[in-house]
């Protein structure tokens, strides 16, 4: 372990963090189910500390452009919360929310983008809110964890992931990534939500999860 | 069919003949070096301006990636090389002050180190808010930059007089 990797979490700390993330995912599942009007399940897919080169491939989508809704975390932890999806999965969400047959939306217009951003906002508020409550109490005065208003972008996955990881990279050779996956009506959906703490929050987590 | 090598974040690679190098950059810097005489190409995906004595990740830092890239290109050419440089990347995809600063620092560190080594920067396509797919063809030295939602851009090498590098 290098001096910079001392900033990373131990296996025991990762387990505690994973449990807190499960609480966030459960709350986010309920909220998303209410929002789209269908039974929804969100599960923690991975909580990993990966070498840099591996981390940029975490979405496993190759070189193709995909869509991102990105919110900054504010409160107990800081960093980025990202909902990522390919065009067809994102546009299918818009059809679902607008009560239109799947395949109606074919391009990213104002309505489709708004649907994706509002979904990210709902997911983020519930996921982060429950995560904040599930984390051990620390010395910090605030117990809240909130997302900023999300922003939408369509870009190369590896470029975007590299950008999101940049703050952690300044302090460590490995990076912490947490990923959740979705099922709607029992079927898997090609959306991925990533939670990426920044370097300052890695120190906060190390302290909180002792 | 050409041989395509994809370069991941913090890595670099060299090629000649029918080799093609490719990387995807956001705020990082894609540095392409090309020696037209030997038709030897090198591409680095550099993340941060300065190394922190990290021996096993020389491609991650501007100050270690450039010498390492030159060394491997010289080996591949089996002789002294006269490379030119082109810089891409440094995007500010979602504005945050820290990341914006790092992107600019990467560009400045690249320009400074290349200048100290006498390697001319003959093309640059940096900044903006979008990621870039950068492809370097070792046979021609041609760089193609793809940006989502825009037409591909070609950056051609413009030869000039410069020092010779022995690795």
ipTM reported for the complex, 2 dp: 0.80
Query: A132-141, B59-68, B73-82, B83-92 — which is least confidently predicted?
Result: A132-141
What DSSP string describes chain A? --TGGGGSPPHHHHHHHHHHHHHHHHHHHHHHHHHHTS-EEEEEEEEEEEEHHHHTTTT--TTSEEEEEEEEEEESS-EEEEEEE-HHHHHHHHHHHTT--TT---S--HHHHHHHHHHHHHHHHHHHHHHHHHSPP-S-S---EEEPPPEEEEEEHHHHHHHHHHHHHTT-SEEEEEEEEEEETTEEEEEEEEEEE-HHHHHHHHHHT-
Mean pLDDT of B13-23: 95
* Burial of B148 (C-beta count, 10 Å sphere; 0-12/13-18/19+): middle
**Quick check: A163 and B130 CB within 8 A?**
no
Q: Are strands B19-25 and B3-7 parallel, antiparallel or unpaired?
A: parallel
Please answer yes or no on whether A52 and B60 come within 8 Å at the CB atom: yes
Quote the pLDDT of residue A79: 92
Residue of B nearest to A150 (CA): B94
- Unique residue bearing structure tokens 């994973």: A18
Subunit contact B99:A167, Cβ cutoff 8 A? yes
Of B26, B94, B132, the CB nearest to A151: B94
Q: Which residue of A57, A64, A163 is the best one to mutate when testing the B interface, meaning the one whose CB has the most B CBs within 10 A?
A: A163
Q: Give the model's pLDDT for residue A164.
A: 87
Phi, psi (deg, nearest 5) at residue A78: -125, 155
Q: Chain-wide mean pLDDT for chain A?
A: 88
What does the alpha-carbon distance between residue B80 and residue A78 come to, in Å, rounded to a whole number? 49
Predicted local confidence at residue A170, as pLDDT: 80
Give me the pLDDT at residue B92, please: 82
Q: Do A159 and B131 touch (CB under 8 A)?
A: yes
**Mean per-residue pLDDT of chain B:** 88
Closest to B11 (Cβ–Cβ): which among A53, A57, A163? A53
- What are chain A's domains? 4-208 (3.40.1550.10)
Which of A149, A144, A119 lies closest to A134 in space, CA to CA? Answer: A144
Handedness of CA A199, A201, A203, A205 (dihedral sign): negative
Q: Cβ–Cβ contacts within 10 Å for residue A19, how many? A: 13
Report, as an integer, the average pLDDT of A169-178: 83
Question: Is the per-residue pLDDT at A151 higher than 80?
Answer: yes
> What pLDDT, on a 0 to 100 scale, did the predictor assign at position B50?
87
* Inter-chain CB pairs, A–B, below 8 Å: 90
**Region B58-78 average pLDDT:** 94
Q: Which of A169-178, A189-198, B57-66, B77-86 has the highest mean pLDDT?
A: B77-86
* Chain B contact for A50 (CB, 8 A cutoff): no
Percent of chain B residues topping a pLDDT of 70:
84
pLDDT reading at B43 higher than 70: yes
| A8 contact B CB<8A | no
Is A60 part of the contact surface with chain B (CB cutoff 8 Å)? no
CB contact under 8 A, A156 and B48: no
Q: Has residue A1 got a pLDDT over 60?
A: no
* Residue linked to tokens 């489709």: A112
Residue with tokens 């790092």: B102
CA angle A142, A198, B45 (to 5 degrees): 170
What pLDDT, in 10s, does the model give residues A68-115?
999 999 998 999 999 999 999 999 999 988 889 989 999 999 999 999
Among partner residues B6, B26, B54, which is closest to A162 by beta-carbon distance?
B26
DSSP states along A109-130: -HHHHHHHHHHHHHHHHHHHHH
pLDDT at residue B130 is higher than 60: yes
Residue ranges and CATH numbers for the domains of chain B are 3-155 (3.30.1330.200)
> Measuring CA to CA, which residue among A62, A72, A28, A50 is closest to residue A164?
A72
- Within 8 A by CB and 6+ apart from B99, the residues are A163, A166, A167, B27, B92
Q: Which residue of A has its CA nearest to B50?
A: A170
């Amino acid at each position: 372990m290098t001096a910079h990797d001392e900033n990373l979490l131990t296996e025991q700390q990762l387990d505690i963090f994973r449990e807190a993330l499960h609480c966030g995912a459960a709350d986010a599942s309920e909220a998303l189910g209410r929002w789209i009007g269908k039974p929804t399940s969100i599960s923690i897919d991975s909580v990993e500390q990966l070498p840099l080169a591996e981390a940029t491939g975490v979405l496993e989508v190759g070189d193709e452009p995909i869509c991102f809704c990105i919110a900054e975390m504010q409160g107990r932890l800081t960093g980025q919360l990202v909902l990522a999806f390919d065009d067809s999965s994102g546009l299918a969400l818009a059809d679902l929310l607008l009560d239109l047959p799947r395949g109606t939306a074919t391009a990213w217009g104002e309505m489709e983008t708004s649907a994706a951003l509002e979904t990210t906002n709902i997911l983020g508020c519930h996921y982060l809110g429950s995560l904040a409550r599930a984390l051990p109490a620390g010395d910090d005065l605030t117990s809240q964890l909130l997302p900023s208003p999300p922003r939408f972008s369509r870009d190369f996955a590896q470029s975007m992931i590299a950008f999101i990881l940049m703050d952690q990279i300044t302090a460590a050779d490995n990076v912490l990534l947490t990923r959740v996956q979705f099922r709607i009506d029992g079927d898997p959906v090609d959306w991925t939500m990533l939670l990426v703490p920044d370097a300052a929050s890695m120190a906060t987590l190390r302290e909180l999860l002792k | 069919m050409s041989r395509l090598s994809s370069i991941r974040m913090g890595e670099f690679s060299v090629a000649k003949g029918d080799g093609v190098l490719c990387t995807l950059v956001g705020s990082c810097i894609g540095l392409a070096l090309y020696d037209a005489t030997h038709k030897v190409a090198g591409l680095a995906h550099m993340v941060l301006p300065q190394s922190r004595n990290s021996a096993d990740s020389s491609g991650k830092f501007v100050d270690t990636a450039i010498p390492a890239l030159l060394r491997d290109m010289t080996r591949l050419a089996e002789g002294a090389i006269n490379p030119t440089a082109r810089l891409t990347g440094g995007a500010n995809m979602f504005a945050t002050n820290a990341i914006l600063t790092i992107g600019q620092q990467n560009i400045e560190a690249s320009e400074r180190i290349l200048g100290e080594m006498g390697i001319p920067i003959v093309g640059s396509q940096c900044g903006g808010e979008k990621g870039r797919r950068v492809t370097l063809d070792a046979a021609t030295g041609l760089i193609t930059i793809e940006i989502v939602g825009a037409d591909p851009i070609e950056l051609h090498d413009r030869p000039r007089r410069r020092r010779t590098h022995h690795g």
